Structure 1
Amino acid sequence: MTDQTRRTTRRTALKAIGLLAFTGTSGVAAASPPGNGNGNGDGNGTDDSLRLFSEVAVDGTHEIATDGNYAYVATGDGLSVVDFRNPTRPEVVGSMTASDPAGGILDAKVDGDLVSLASNGGPGITLVDVSDPSDPTEISFVDVGHHIHNNFLADGYAYLTVNESGDAAFSKARTIVVDVRDPSDAAVVGEYRLKDDFQEFAMGGVSACHDVYVQDDLLYQAFWDSGVVVADVSDPTDPQLVTQFGEAPGADVPGYDLETYLTPPGNAHYVQPSPDGDLVYVGAETFPGNFVDNPDNDDYGGIKIFDVSDTADPQELVRIDPPNADGFRTSHNFDVTANRLHASWYDGGVTVHDVTDPENPETLAGYRTDDTSFWGAKTTRSFTLAGDIGGGIAVLHNDRGKRESPGFDGSGSPDAPGMQ
């Protein structure tokens, strides 16, 4: 096992529970995938299925963030707000187009009356006032000098993924912290850099900071083949290492190799803890087959569940495999409650899993049609909101609705690998 540079300047409370641990993946169970499905998915031994309860077309749909009765949808060029108070008839009640230099907006996050839009094609984030959901109003653009693929809002701060281009790009992989308590005067106040604690990983070629999640003063960072790095952000200006887990063999090998980057193992793409923080769910996005000129490679990424109740010794419990379906069906974004996992799989559709026993998750239901490809899945009010890429939101329910496709047309799954 490669020795990593480790910080010892951690908060007193964290010192009491140890530094960090590296965990392997051998001897870990795999949960059976759901069946093919065609709008009436068979879901791992059950005939239950998700049904199309209602729908709303939203041009350019990518990530969805929810708060109360509203969904906030990243639309490529800005934001759309969907009123979900009547789930039988959700409707777009407001929208806005972000001003230059924003662009390529794939991710939206919400915290109270503030939405942040990450610019995958621009150098920062757009902050939007949604105190009146019918009139989302741009407040400011925070220029940090680098494109931002994903971000997260929590307690007056925005957390931004940053990856630079050029030689040794991933040595600069990091999360930037922006103080947005006054969104008209937002400013960068801190950062977590992979190289400060894991110099070897940072000099490897497969350690992009892809996504982040913040809960209970902990910052969960998906660093691709370097796995998940958790930092304490009780002081957002000075993030401190808590633990790391789930790295792939060879993550510390210098130099970038396309096939290594696009195929398993590794590929930590999305991360979310359970509400109590004892578990962490990590989705792997892989691009096998024709994406790497190897059609015999059909190893699509799944979702792993880690027990992190002992931060000094995180343990991988199980991997939930992707659905058995035609098309591009790797794990993408998902949502976690105390006992349910709602997951999207691009062409593989949407699945719901019972994770009451996290070592033995059970696939309860699924939704898939031949003309949908899903970016994300969120749960609210006993429904699953599934974002069909480019097309809109499918509102799914486990026993009410139709067994058919939504009426809008999406843009489909990626036709080339990238920072999806």
Structure 2
Amino acid sequence: MQRRTFLETGVGASVALTLLSAPASGTTRTRALESASAAEDGSRLRSRSQSTDAYEPLGRLEIEGAAEAVVGDDGETVYLATVDGFAIADVSDPAEPTLLAERRGLLGGSDDGIQGGDGSENEDGDEDEAYGPLTDILDVKVDGDRLIVPGPANSTRGNEFHGFVLYDVSDPSDPVPAAEPYETDFHIHNCFFADDLCYLVGNGAEGNPLVIVDVSDDEPIEVGRWSLLEHDDRWADVNSILWYLHDVYVHDGVAYLPYWNAGTYLVDVSDPGDPEYISHVADDDVDVESQRGIESFAVTEAQQTLPGNDHYSAVDETGELLGVGRESWAAQPGETEGAGGIDLWDISDRSAPEYLSTVEAPESFDASYRGGMWTTAHNFELRDGRLYSSWYHGGVKIHDVSDPANPEELTWWRDPADAAFWTARVAEPGETFVASSTPAIPNSPAVGALYVFPIESGTQADPPSLTDPEESGRSVELDVEGPETDTETGTEIESEAEAEAENDSEANSSVTDASGAEAIPGFTGLTGVTGGALALEWLRRSRVSGSSGSSRSSRSSQFEADSASSPDPDSNSDSNSNSN
């Protein structure tokens, strides 16, 4: 598969930059980022080469329903999304992480401030404003002493509250509401929070926009929006799930927006009220014309498999090195290839990104979405010349990216029988990083937990195989063949567990999108990417336990004119409106 950089400025002609690379697995294929500097001495990894100790976690804390994790400014407090709320943990003692607080059942009628929004009368005689429950919480972000808790992560058909709540976490052991809930007309899969601005992914709203909300006082207010359609309105003719805005990362006035198959967009948000396009990176094999031609029955496969699949993007502290994680799976059960990796880009000139290398995903015995061993890239952090990455069952890794054209793997730890890692974040620079494990992957025995790891090079003792299901510890009965089929009608038979999870969540596990494409549960409720399916699976497990006690081909290095004319940036279209 090919990947290219579009060098389109917001007002200039369309120009494409592509870089030639030989198909070398897991290695760099271009020159190094010349401006990249070596890691600070204090962040250099210690080595266990002179010790007999194997590399392993320092500590672990089980947290039910764990998903995203972020670290506070003190490097000791970790905030986690937990599907039905959030949790706060103390990792000041890496060997003994402890739970400080949990808040679950948000806006569900409990009695702590805004969570009691059931329309009943408070003790002071005032009436609570009634809110539906806030569910499917897969992300949280912290900015100083405030925490944003958004949701639902996926489209719903019930009365769930859509928006976010803010908490004062100046005392992490006692988080309290900081403002009234902020309601939106779209689900919020992910967000970013910095400098009193909340950046929300607004899928379901017209144009799948980035939505910017000012929360500097007690009454949050929207101050700006930006959509891919402002740059190229031809995407309005493409099924919106193929240009879903999956996440957002903001650094130094620039937002990095992974628009799935449309690529990752760099947008100037230094003036939040007037965001402006800078440039974007995308696959050579995935342009708007190719996406226009995808039939409705093929949408799910096009969305789940490479090329494309820009899922998470972030930059290092210099703002000159960009990582783009591509979450993807194999098209068919039993296929071993298809998991997406992390592409590294030189963006020292933001108007002209240059591809550097790809950190490839670990191989597994089954790379498919349904019943497979997930080893695709998920969330990560770039800091001090290091890439801290999570790969679900594929574990966590540290790479030296001080020469980002030649990433060097320093550490790899995995335990696919118990852990499926959602993210990896630095806690104490040069000393520890944390990683959250999610329990919600289909057909996975993984447990929700927060792990603390040392920042050092090393080798895991007897690492479990990812290519042999028995050696991996995944010798459980997997749904590798897909759902059971009625031999007379040829229709799929929903399992009892799936039906129960569907009923419990008031959501459908198979829905039809605007184009008529039927798809398995996923990040919008339309397709099979992490999100809705994971929440359903976690809910099913919780209920059951309660009742029982990408490899690439060529790249080019020359400039070439984009075949399409520069679109009118003011154009927009109502046809993009997501049906749910």
TM-score (norm 2): 0.61
Give the CA deviation at 1:339: 0.8
Contact 1:114/1:131 (<8 A) preserved: yes
Q: Give the 5 Å matches for 1:14-25.
A: 22-24=16-18
Distance in 2 between the 1:337 and 1:71 partners?
18
Equivalence for 1:44:
none
Letter in 1 for 2:522: G
The counterpart of 1:7, out of the listed 2, 10, 13, is: 10
- The one-letter amino acid paired with 1:273 is V
Compared CA separation, residues 83 and 4, structure 1 to 2 (3 A): closer
Corresponding letter in the other structure for 1:55:
R
Shift of 1:2: 13
Q: Report the alpha carbon displacement of residue 338 of structure 1 after superposing the two structures with TM.
A: 2.5
Decide whether the 8 Å contact of 1:28 with 1:317 is kept in 2: no
Q: Using the TM superposition, name which of 278-287 and 318-327 deviates more.
A: 318-327
Q: Distance in 2 between matches of 1:173 and 1:87?
A: 40
1:175-254 correspondence to structure 2 within 5 Å: 175-182=210-217, 184-205=218-239, 206-252=242-288, 253-254=291-292
Letter in 2 for 1:211: D
Unaligned stretches of 5+ residues in structure 2: 28-51, 108-131, 155-160, 366-372, 440-447, 464-477, 481-519, 524-529, 531-580
SS at match of 1:246: strand
Pick from 373, 383, 400: which aligns with 2:432? 383
8 Å contact from structure 1 (residues 225, 268) kept in 2: yes
CA distance in structure 1 between the aligned counterparts of 2:278 and 2:9, rounded to whole angstroms: 10
Match of 1:282 in 2: 324
Structure-1 separation of matches of 2:5 and 2:384: 35
Q: Give the distance between the partners of 2:460 and 2:359, measured in 1 at CA.
A: 27
Between the aligned partners of 1:5 and 1:243, the Cα distance in structure 2 is: 5
2:94 aligned partner, one-letter code: P
Q: Provide Cα deviations, 1:104-137, integer angstroms capped at 9, x if missing partner.
A: 0000100001111121154212211111100112
Paired position in structure 1 for 2:497: none
Contact 1:149 1:161 in 2 (8 A): yes
State whether structure 2 residue 358 is matched by structure 1 residue 301. no
CA distance in 2, matches of 1:337, 1:76: 28
Please name the residue that 1:14 is paired with.
none
Counterparts of 1:349 and 1:2, CA distance in 2:
30
Q: Which of the two has higher C-alpha Rg?
A: 2
SS of corresponding position for 2:243: coil
1:60 alignment counterpart: 65
Answer whether contact 1:22 1:247 (CA < 8 A) is retained. no
2:275 is equivalent to residue 272 of structure 1:
no
Q: Cα 1:90–1:154, aligned 2, differ >3 Å: closer, same or farther?
A: same
Tell me if the contact between 1:301 and 1:321 (Cα under 8 Å) persists in the aligned partners.
yes
Alignment of 1:18-417 (within 5 A): 22-24=16-18, 26-27=20-21, 32=26, 50-67=55-72, 68=74, 69-97=76-104, 98-99=106-107, 100-119=132-151, 120-121=153-154, 122-139=161-178, 140-164=180-204, 172-182=207-217, 184-205=218-239, 206-252=242-288, 253-254=291-292, 257-290=299-332, 295-296=334-335, 298-326=337-365, 327-371=373-417, 372-381=419-428, 382-390=431-439, 391-397=448-454, 398=456
TM-score (norm 1): 0.83
Distance 1:231 1:399, change over 3 A: closer
**Which sections of structure 1, spanning at least 5 residues, go unmatched?**
9-17, 34-46, 166-170, 406-412
Q: Which has the higher strand share?
A: 1
Aligned AA for 1:27? S
Distance 2:398 2:381 in 1: 10
CA–CA separation in structure 2 for the residues paired with 1:114 and 1:88: 27
Q: Which secondary structure state, in structure 2, belongs to the residue aligned with residue 304 of structure 1?
A: strand
How far, CA to CA, are the matches of 2:265 and 2:136 in structure 1?
A: 27
Structure 1 distance, partners of 2:307, 2:329, is 11
SS at match of 1:95: strand
Equivalent-residue separation in structure 2 for 1:199 and 1:418 (angstroms): 25
Task: Please tell me whether the aligned partners of residues 31 and 361 of structure 1 are also in contact (alpha carbons under 8 angstroms).
Answer: no
Shift of 1:248: 5.0
* Aligned-pair CA distance for 1:417: 5.9
Q: Percent of pairs identical after alignment?
A: 31
Instruction: State the superposition RMSD in angstroms.
Output: 3.0
Task: Provide the C-alpha distance between the structure 1 equivalents of 2:379 and 2:303, rounded to a whole number of angstroms.
Answer: 19
Range with greater deviation from structure 2 (20-29 or 221-230): 20-29
Corresponding letter in the other structure for 2:391:
W
Contact persistence 2:91–2:452 (CA under 8 A): no
**Partner Cα separation in structure 2 for residue 22 and residue 188 of structure 1:** 34
- Other-structure match for 1:39: none
CA gap of 1:373–1:316, structure 2 versus 1, over 3 A, is same
- 1:28·1:319 contact (CA, 8 Å) conserved in 2? no
Q: Which moved more, 1:96-105 or 1:54-63?
A: 96-105
Q: Which amino acid aligns with 1:58?
A: I
